[in-house]
Each structure stands twice: as C-alpha cells, then as structure tokens.
Structure 1
C-alpha cells in the first residue's frame, strides 16, 4: 500500500507540473497590465504617464526610465527619446553629456541628434512636458 501511495503521488506531481507551470505563466503575464485598468491611474497610460521627477534628471545629462531616456541639456529644458538605437535596436544610455549605444558605439547628443555612427539617424523623440515637478509623456 505504501508503494501505491508513492506511485500515485509521483504520478500526480508529474501530471500536475505542466498544468501548474502554464497557470503560473498565465498569471505572471496577466499581472503585468499596463492598460490603465488598475483603478484609473494616469501613470499607466502612454499620454500623461509620469516618467520621473525633474530633480532626478541631471543638468547636462539624462536618465533611463523604462524604454525612454529623459534628458536635460540645459537647466529646465527637458526632452525624451526612445532608448532604441536606430542602428540595430540596442538600448542607449547616458554617458556623460552624450547618449551612448554600448552595442556598436553609436553616440547621440542630449537632443537626440546623431554624433557618430554606425547609426545613420537620430533617436526617436518622445513627447514630454513638465507638470509641476514631474516629467510626463504628452
């Protein structure tokens, strides 16, 4: 009888494991909802989404927030760009007073313009505005 319980438990685990994995995967995918259905928070919509506080963006530099890099070339002048390098899609990041693509060495100014390739185009701009102390999309 002990042997049957061991076999049954093992069989149950072997059958249930793939079902559990699928269920957990679906739950994980479902929990990453960026549609704004979390109580109406404007932080989850593409327009009006708060990206960062102005005080967190260094003058003469920038910060990465998700898939956006927010820059402040001069005090009070904020801009934002997709982090996706137009060369082959690697994520650019601030490096001193430039935006650097670590994959192939493309370099961009804080206004998104191309300094040197292999990229042949500037970074894609993301519309932003300052609302109080926040930099928001839109």
Structure 2
C-alpha cells in the first residue's frame, strides 16, 4: 500500500475576469455556446452557435445585445415574436437575473428562407467578486 501526502498551502485569491477567461475557449469551441455579460451583450460565440442559429458571422456579434441578435418567437403555429418580458426569461438571461443555472426551450426564427429552430439551452451564471458578471450557455437543436 502506497501512502501519498499532499501539502496544501493557503492559496491567494486570483482576480480573474471570467468573461475574458471564457471568451477564447467559447470562440474556438466545437459546441454551440455563448458568453454574455451582465447587460446581455455578447462577449463570445462559437462558430457552431452561429451556424445553428443561422445568424451573421460571429466576429460581428461581439458587443451586440443577445435579444437583438435572436428573433425569439412563441411555440404557436403562427410563430409570433415574444414580448420583452418573455424574452428576458430565456436561459442565458435568466441565469443573470436568478443567479442560478437555468435551462429551457426557446424557438428562434432564422433569416429569410431558413426555418425556425427549437433549441434546448442550458446556462450558468459567471461570478466575479460575489457578483454575477455574465453567463455561459450551451445550445442544442431539438
């Protein structure tokens, strides 16, 4: 039997900006993912997220409000656009306001000649100094 001892020294807290820390891996991720800041502005989006939603090129998305980029619609046959209060309840934004992980379905209308998509979204808040500074979300087509 082998005995291993670990020496744990007190660690100093590291002041890391989680939005910056996640922006590089998200931008290069193969998974469909997105990072937004506390205001709902896009910090980083993966290429697969851009393809999944048929939105414009991801380099042009940084700094844009996720509510403006996504054309969120209801689940009726008519596919009516969601009102402001309903748009605030999508998982990436709900993770900001609830300060908890959020999951849900959302329906997005694509640009002309592309069908609407139903997506499963999972989001978690990103913390810094005891405050929620953004959220990290993953999406999958349903």
Q: Calculate the TM-score normalised by the size of structure 1.
A: 0.29
Asked which structure has the greater RCO (Cα within 8 Å, sep 6+), the reply is: 2
Larger radius of gyration: 1
TM-score (normalizing by structure 2) = 0.28
